[in-house]
Amino acid sequence: MAAPVDIKLRHARPALDPRPLRKRVGLVILATDHTTEPDYQRMVASAEIGVYVARIPFANPVTPENLRAMQPSLTEAAGLILPGEELDAVCYSCTSASVVIGDDEIEAAIQEAKPGVPVVTPPLAGVRGLKALGARRISVLTPYTVETSRPMADYFARHGFEIASFTCLGFSDDREMARISPASLVEIAAEATAPEADALFISCTAVRAAGVAAGIERRTGRPMVSSNLASAWTCLRLCGDETARPELGRLMALPLPRG
């Protein structure tokens, strides 16, 4: 039998950085989400910004009732993201649930676990993005049913937008929403953008619209804001990253409005 390896303990501790990465973004996403993590890895994560994810239970179909049922899980999920450590932003990555539950309620639930953290919801990020682009009259495209789309129309109207047109695709399973091909999204976006609209908003964090934002803008001649594009833009700016990246869409060249 070989003699035990002599393991030496180095008593002098190495220097520690304040954080492994300078900034931290938390994501609370649905158990069924295929899209948010790849989008954030592409648009947000870097050598300076880490993206940390917790998933919460969700059962299809996408209905207002099932969306609202996620609210009790929000605090626990946020608390599981680097427990006891501060985050620079937390995004609850579900547009339709944020509309149904309410931005203020989501902020309160997440801040119960992470006091004082800036909370991002996709619809409110969309509102800020559209306003940063100077849009007042908008077209809206969702993958949802009419029933699930109705609260979205009311949400944007409450935030002062005139809705020039509203198109929904009738899907009730978010896993199928994630399978809508980006090429077809460009064509559908062109059909859904009214001639009088200042901009197009594409709802749903499952939909792969952020990856073809520039293509949609070229096709329509109007700026496009999607759920993941808007929330990623907001998280970047909250982390102090002001880099203009117009190749990702017009919104990514703008600063975050204050107030």
pLDDT digits (tens, 9 = 90+) for 129-186: 999 999 999 999 999 999 999 999 999 999 999 999 999 999 999 999 999 999 999 9
Q: Which CATH class is domain 123-226?
A: alpha beta
Tokens standing for residue 120: 């991002």
Instruction: State the Cα angle at 228 between 163 and 190, rounded to 5°.
Output: 45
Q: Which CATH class is domain 23-122+231-245?
A: alpha beta
Averaged confidence pLDDT in the chain: 96
Tell me if 171 sits within 8 A of 179, measured CB to CB.
Answer: no
Q: What is the pLDDT of residue 2?
A: 85
| CA-based end-to-end distance of the chain | 71
Tell me, what DSSP letter sits at residue 114?
S
DSSP string, 47-74: SSEEEEEEEE---SS--HHHHHTTGGGH
Do 23-122+231-245 and 123-226 show the same overall fold? yes
Tokens standing for residue 259: 């107030």
Spatial distance between the Cα atoms of 206 and 107, rounded to a whole number of angstroms: 21
Tokens standing for residue 108: 């309160």
Q: What is the pLDDT of residue 259?
A: 62
For 11, residues 6+ apart whose C-beta sits below 8 A from its C-beta are none
Name residues of the chain where pLDDT drops below 50.
none
Residue with the two structure tokens 């929904």: 168
Q: What is the pLDDT of residue 242?
A: 96
Q: What is the pLDDT of residue 22?
A: 96
Q: Which amino acid is at 57?
A: P
Q: Where are the domains of the chain?
A: 23-122+231-245, 123-226
Q: How many CB atoms lie within 10 A of CB 146?
A: 11
Which phi and psi angles does 21 have, rounded to 5°? -125, 150
53: left (phi over 0), alpha (psi -120 to 50) or beta: beta
Tokens standing for residue 80: 């599981």
